[in-house]
């Protein structure tokens, strides 16, 4: 659950369609190897065009739906619908893949009687295979029939691949006396690394937000949340985070100049952080979430480098899986992070057990440290003692099951 700030109300069973004016659906169309029991086509619709923002994979190889959505959103600055399929990434599929992504966009737009450039497109799944467009088309038609204000959960299920659990949440805050709701959903379990990952995330709000302000906020929040998670060090071809703000709450238009902008921004980040942590926790084969809290850095960028390196280290991740209090692996990660470090000042904690001070090991209670490593989450604390900046990153342990899952991913 989200750890609520004083002005943030967590909505029980909240999700993508908790804000006013959103409907969603998720259906089984047989995209996943012809399986008609697993949902794999999803649609989100706003009753009115919404200010929209997007951030995308940094991988040089970008899937067709990423290219289509980037182009449309850059031109319009608005979205009214998003269509998603799982089971097939529509990546490395050439000209036909681009045509298929455009067809998904056009089919959705025609069903809603809106401009096709108001439709975002996303895909996730196996790379290098053409979409089964007959199934996609039938899935879009069925999803249209099932659109509902209660359809957020089905949407969340339909975008899953190797995810074990749905990832969704919603919060509410008050802006100028009006309740404003922010909802979100995400998928991601493997091929996850900072600077985006095999993840899709969609955030909705009924607040009115200036488009440029929404884009800046999404970029900043992504850097502090989705860009601070890792499962396996791989960055996907399909990553995308989209945010829609349709203004149906009736609040003032929000920009950073608005007196209550900080309240909205905090709630928006709370939703993103909840989803990001849920992705890290649901890493393929994972048994425990890893949290790396770094303090005392010269800059936030340095703190982030250290935190990301810790949660991304295979040796750290396997030590967590085995509950091995090998703090030297943490020191190794600190040293290779690329951040400014004075080794003679570094302090390290496993949970509440301090294992190193001033760059040297301490006599510590091995059994107590092991108990900390058996907790979920496992928390590592590192104080560099060279400044005042801090950052936190999230990851998961690396298990036998991860190898098993990815050794037979296509089957």
pLDDT tens digit sequence for 298-328: 999 999 999 999 998 989 999 999 999 999 9
Q: Does one domain contain both 74 and 220?
A: yes
Residues pairing with 317 in the sheet = none
Q: Do the Cβ atoms of 158 and 86 come closer than 8 Å?
A: yes
Q: Does one domain contain both 324 and 207?
A: no
Q: Does one domain contain both 128 and 248?
A: yes
- Look at residue 405 in the predicted model and tell me its pLDDT: 63
Q: Does one domain contain both 346 and 204?
A: no
C-alpha 320: how far from its chain's center? 23
Cα dist. 114→47, 74, 110, 407 in Å?
11, 17, 7, 43
CB atoms within 10 A of CB 142: 15
Please report where in the chains the tokens 């342990």 appear, as a residue: 397
Q: Does one domain contain both 63 and 144?
A: yes
Is 39 inside any structural domain? yes
- Look at residue 411 in the predicted model and tell me its pLDDT: 52
Q: Kindly state the tokens that stand for 82.
A: 């998003």
Dump pLDDT digits (tens) for 162-205: 787 899 999 999 998 999 999 999 997 544 444 434 579 999 99
Per annotation, catalytic residue among 198, 225, 235, 237: 198
Question: Is a pLDDT exceeding 60 seen at residue 234?
Answer: no
Task: Look at residues 250, 281, 312 and tell me which one is the last residue of a structural domain.
Answer: 281
Q: Is the peptide bond before 312 cis (omega within 30 degrees of 0)?
A: no
Is 2 inside any structural domain? no
Is 371 inside any structural domain? yes
Residue 336 has phi, psi (to 5 degrees) of -95, 5
Residues 6+ away with beta carbon under 8 Å from 112: 45, 80, 81, 119, 144
Question: Is a pLDDT exceeding 80 seen at residue 64?
Answer: yes
Sign of CA dihedral 368, 369, 374, 378: positive
Q: Is the peptide bond before 253 cis (omega within 30 degrees of 0)?
A: no
SS3 90: coil
Question: Is a pLDDT exceeding 50 seen at residue 51?
Answer: yes
State the Cα–Cα distance between residues 268 and 341, nearest whole angstrom: 33
Is 31 inside any structural domain? yes
Q: Do the Cβ atoms of 54 and 74 come closer than 8 Å?
A: no
Tally of domains within the chain: 2
Is 3 inside any structural domain? no
Dump pLDDT digits (tens) for 381-408: 999 999 999 999 998 888 777 677 666 6
Q: Kindly state the tokens that stand for 153.
A: 């959960």
Q: Does one domain contain both 250 and 332?
A: no
- Look at residue 163 in the predicted model and tell me its pLDDT: 81
Q: Does one domain contain both 22 and 61?
A: yes
First to last CA, the chain: 33
pLDDT, averaged across the chain: 91
Residues pairing with 124 in the sheet = 86, 88
State the Cα–Cα distance between residues 379 and 350, nearest whole angstrom: 6
Among residues 364, 355, 360, 362, the alpha carbon closest in space to that of 343 is found at 360
- Look at residue 196 in the predicted model and tell me its pLDDT: 38
Identify the domain containing residue 295 by its residue range.
289-407
Is 157 inside any structural domain? yes
Q: Does one domain contain both 382 and 265?
A: no
CA atoms within 13 A on the CB side of 211: 13
Dump pLDDT digits (tens) for 319-367: 999 999 999 999 999 999 999 999 999 999 999 999 999 999 999 999 9
- Look at residue 407 in the predicted model and tell me its pLDDT: 66
Is 198 designated active site? yes
- Look at residue 408 in the predicted model and tell me its pLDDT: 61
Q: Does one domain contain both 213 and 302?
A: no
Average the pLDDT over 64-72 and give the result: 96
| CATH number of the domain residue 146 falls in | 3.60.70.12
Q: Does one domain contain both 364 and 299?
A: yes
Task: Look at residues 248, 281, 314 and tell me which one is the last residue of a structural domain.
Answer: 281
Is 1 inside any structural domain? no
What pTM value is reported for the model? 0.84
CB atoms within 10 A of CB 338: 12
Task: Look at residues 244, 265, 281 and tell me which one is the last residue of a structural domain.
Answer: 281
Residues 6+ away with beta carbon under 8 Å from 289: 277, 280, 281, 376, 377, 378, 394, 395, 396
Q: Kindly state the tokens that stand for 128.
A: 């290098």
Q: Does one domain contain both 214 and 345?
A: no
Is 400 inside any structural domain? yes
Question: Is a pLDDT exceeding 90 seen at residue 410?
Answer: no
| CATH number of the domain residue 293 falls in | 3.10.20.340
Q: Does one domain contain both 95 and 244?
A: yes
Q: Are strands 167-175 and 240-245 parallel, antiparallel or unpaired?
A: unpaired
Average the pLDDT over 114-138 and give the result: 95
């Amino acid at each position: 659950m989200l750890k609520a700030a004083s002005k943030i109300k967590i909505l029980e069973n909240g999700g993508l369609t908790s804000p006013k004016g959103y409907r969603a659906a998720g259906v089984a169309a047989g995209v996943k190897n012809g399986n008609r029991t697993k949902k794999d086509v999803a649609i989100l619709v706003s009753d009115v065009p919404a200010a929209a923002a997007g951030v995308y994979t940094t991988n040089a190889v970008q899937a067709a739906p990423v290219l289509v959505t980037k182009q449309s959103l850059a031109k319009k600055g608005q979205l009214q619908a998003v269509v998603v399929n799982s089971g097939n990434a529509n990546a490395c599929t050439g000209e036909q893949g681009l045509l298929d992504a455009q067809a998904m966009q056009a089919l959705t737009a025609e069903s809603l009687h809106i401009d096709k450039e108001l439709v975002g497109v996303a895909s996730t799944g196996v790379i290098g295979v053409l979409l089964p467009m007959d199934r996609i088309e039938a899935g879009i038609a069925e999803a249209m029939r099932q659109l509902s204000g209660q359809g957020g959960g089905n949407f969340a299920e339909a975008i899953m691949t190797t995810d074990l659990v749905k990832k969704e949440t919603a919060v509410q805050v008050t802006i100028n006396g009006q309740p404003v709701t922010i909802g979100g959903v995400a998928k991601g379990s493997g091929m996850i690394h900072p600077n985006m990952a095999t993840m899709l995330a969609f955030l909705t709000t009924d607040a009115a937000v200036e488009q440029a302000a929404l884009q800046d906020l999404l970029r900043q929040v992504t850097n502090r949340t989705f860009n601070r998670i890792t499962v396996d060090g791989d960055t996907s071809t399909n990553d995308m985070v989209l945010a829609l703000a349709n203004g149906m709450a009736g609040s003032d238009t929000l920009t950073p100049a608005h007196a209550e902008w900080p309240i909205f921004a905090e709630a928006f980040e709370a939703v993103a952080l909840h989803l990001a942590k849920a992705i890290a926790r649901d890493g393929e084969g994972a048994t425990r979430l890893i949290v790396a809290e770094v303090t005392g850095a010269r800059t936030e960028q340095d703190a982030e480098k250290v935190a990301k390196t810790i949660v991304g280290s295979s040796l750290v991740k396997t030590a967590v899986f085995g509950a091995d209090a090998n703090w030297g692996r943490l020191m190794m990660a600190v040293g290779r992070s690329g951040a400014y470090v004075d080794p003679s000042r570094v302090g390290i904690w496993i949970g509440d057990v301090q294992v190193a001070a001033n760059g040297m090991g301490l006599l510590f209670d091995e059994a107590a440290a092991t108990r900390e490593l058996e907790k979920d989450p496992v928390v590592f604390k590192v104080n560099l003692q060279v400044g005042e900046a801090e950052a936190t990153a999230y990851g998961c342990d690396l298990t036998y099951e991860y190898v098993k899952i990815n050794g037979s991913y296509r089957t």
